[in-house]
């Protein structure tokens, strides 16, 4: 004898599964090109989740989307003619809340208070460990890391005028503060780096703003991810930005999002730094943001610290 309740339950389950399948097919293969681009860009710009795009789309289509949203290294450099007023000794802290992400912006009036500090351990350290017991006001991550030796940053780095990890490259995309406390961004030759007298610098990108002009970025370049970035205003104030990502309350931000945040706060030069699970900000004695892999230790090769 047939069980009407059982048959009804089976029908409901089948309808639900069919609806779910149709919705999935519609999203990933339907007419909404924007969704596919966001999915591919977000997946392909992570170190461990590329398969989320590769299992759904052909490599040719993935390459097409990546090419259309490619971030090109700029050739322009920060001008030496940018004027700064006398630096103050103030600072401010702001929580940023948007529909897709949450973040934190720390602003310090005097750029001389900012320095790049190496991790004390041979395997790198957590941000709080790099800060240590010193009276640090704020800090955030900076360089990317070498997958084998975590204390060795990916690309060039300059600590207190000392150049490290120059490598064999002729050109480097740089963000750093020079002897005049001007935040400089752009692509520099080895000779130009030595002549610029950077007090500290790291090699990363993309450059977001140079000489008051936003660089060309597509709307979803880089996909949605945790972000770290730095900028400087006309008055010389340093803007330190960290955006949480890969969480329900904060999906993450694109390069364009970060560019617009810093520009709206007056940045005339700005650059993206290492993001993803590296993104972390320290303020008032603790790591203030929520790193994307909170349950896994993620060591950093260095950090930007404000005393």
Per-residue pLDDT tens for 185-209?
999 999 999 998 999 999 999 999 9
220 band by pLDDT with thresholds 50, 70 and 90: very high
C-alpha–C-alpha distance, residues 177 and 189, integer Å:
16
Q: pLDDT at residue 270 above 60?
A: yes
pLDDT tens digits, one per residue of 231-252: 999 999 999 999 999 888 899 9
pTM of the model: 0.88
Sequence-ordered list of residues with C-beta below 8 angstroms from that of 50, at least 6 positions apart, any chain = 43, 44
Is 12 buried (19+), middle (13-18) or exposed (0-12) by CB count in 10 A?
exposed
Across the range 261-287, mean pLDDT stands at 95
Whole-number Å distance between alpha carbons of 150 and 144: 9
106 pLDDT above the threshold of 60: yes
289-303 average pLDDT score:
75
Q: Rounded mean pLDDT of 63-74?
A: 88
Q: How many CB atoms lie within 10 A of CB 58?
A: 9
């Amino acid at each position: 004898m047939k069980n009407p309740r059982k048959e009804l339950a089976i029908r409901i389950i089948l309808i639900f599964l069919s609806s779910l399948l149709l919705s999935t097919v519609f999203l990933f293969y339907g007419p909404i090109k924007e969704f596919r681009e966001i999915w591919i860009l977000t997946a392909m710009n992570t170190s461990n989740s590329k398969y989320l795009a590769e299992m759904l789309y052909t490599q040719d289509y993935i390459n097409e989307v990546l090419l259309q949203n490619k971030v090109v290294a700029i050739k322009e450099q920060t001008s030496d003619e940018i004027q700064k007023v006398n630096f103050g000794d103030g600072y401010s802290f702001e929580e940023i809340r948007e529909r897709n992400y949450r973040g934190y912006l720390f602003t310090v009036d005097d750029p001389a208070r900012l320095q790049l500090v190496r991790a004390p351990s041979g395997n790198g350290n957590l941000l709080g460990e790099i800060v240590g017991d010193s009276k640090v006001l704020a800090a955030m991550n900076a360089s990317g890391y070498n997958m084998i030796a975590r204390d060795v940053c990916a690309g060039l780095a300059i600590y207190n005028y000392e150049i490290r990890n120059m490598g064999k490259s002729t050109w480097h995309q740089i963000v750093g503060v020079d002897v005049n406390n001007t935040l400089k961004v752009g692509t520099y030759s080895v000779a130009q780096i030595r002549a610029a007298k950077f007090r500290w610098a790291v090699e990363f990108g993309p450059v977001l703003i140079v000489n008051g002009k936003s660089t060309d970025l597509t709307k979803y370049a880089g996909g949605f991810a945790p972000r770290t970035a730095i900028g400087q205003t006309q008055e010389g104030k340093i803007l330190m930005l960290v955006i949480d990502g890969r969480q329900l309350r904060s999906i993450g931000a694109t390069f364009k999002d970060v560019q617009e945040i810093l520009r709206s706060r007056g940045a005339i030069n700005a650059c993206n730094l290492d993001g993803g699970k590296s993104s972390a900000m320290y303020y008032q004695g603790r790591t203030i943001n929520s790193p994307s892999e909170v349950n896994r230790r993620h060591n950093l090769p260095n950090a930007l610290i404000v005393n």
